[in-house]
């Protein structure tokens, strides 16, 4: 079956590749992360973003579900509707500096707040202190947490919260017999936060 006269397949493919790249950049995900979430290979996704490969219907369905958009929106010109909700299935924990963390906003690059779920494992190795521009607020969901903040140390129980200047050297340590889980909100750009703290 030949395409409709007003449809240019090459132009559609170029538009799709740009939208896929924009969706991934908007969530600050790597190709490896998208591959894990979609169960598609990294080389295949890379070729889609480069406009060098035509996607299958199954691949488009998986990609759309991962980003929380419709398949049709992947081909629509103009601005994509912003993703407001992040489902639990999208917020996968990943490792970083001895912690497990998951971003809780698909729009973190657009706003000043960076909400993150953090799992601090018992027996986390190392003693490095981290610091970056901005401020942090954290809330302990589960377990017991020792917050090292400059020369001070604070032990936080479930339900406790802390708010501090992130330029102060700091470290999170799980206390007691199990891991500590917390919500952390930082006011800083995503890349400095992830590179310096996570």
What was the pLDDT predicted at 76?
75
Domains of the chain: 9-75 (1.10.260.40), 94-196 (2.60.120.10)
For 31-65, the pLDDT digits (tens) are 999 999 899 999 999 999 998 888 898 999 999 88
For 12-38, the pLDDT digits (tens) are 788 888 888 888 887 778 899 999 989
For 77-124, the pLDDT digits (tens) are 655 556 677 777 777 888 888 899 888 887 665 677 889 999 999 999
Provide the angle, in degrees to the nearest 10, between the axes of the packed helices 57-67 and 31-38.
Answer: 110
For 139-171, the pLDDT digits (tens) are 999 999 999 999 999 999 999 999 999 999 999
> How would DSSP label each residue in 98-167?
TEEEEE--TTTTTSSEEEEEEEE-TT------B--SSEEEEEEEESEEEEEETTEEEEE-TT-EEEEETT
């Amino acid at each position: 079956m030949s395409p409709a006269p007003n449809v240019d397949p090459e132009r559609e493919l170029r538009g799709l590749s740009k939208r896929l790249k924009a969706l991934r950049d908007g969530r600050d995900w790597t190709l490896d992360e998208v591959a894990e979430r979609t169960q598609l290979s990294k080389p295949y996704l890379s070729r889609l973003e480069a406009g060098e490969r035509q996607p299958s219907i199954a691949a488009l369905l998986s990609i759309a579900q991962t980003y929380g958009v419709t398949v049709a929106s992947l081909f629509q010109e103009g601005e994509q509707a912003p993703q407001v909700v992040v489902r639990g299935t999208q917020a996968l924990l990943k490792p970083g500096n001895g912690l497990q963390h998951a971003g809780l906003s698909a729009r973190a690059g657009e706003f000043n707040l960076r909400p993150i779920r953090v799992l601090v494992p018992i027996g986390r190795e190392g003693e490095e202190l981290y610091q970056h521009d901005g401020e942090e607020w954290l809330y302990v969901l589960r377990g017991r947490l020792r917050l090292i903040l400059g020369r001070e140390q604070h032990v936080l129980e479930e339900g406790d919260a802390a708010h501090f200047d992130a330029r102060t050297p700091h470290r999170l340590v799980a206390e007691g017999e199990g891991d500590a889980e917390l919500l952390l909100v930082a006011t800083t750009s995503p890349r400095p936060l992830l590179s310096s703290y996570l």
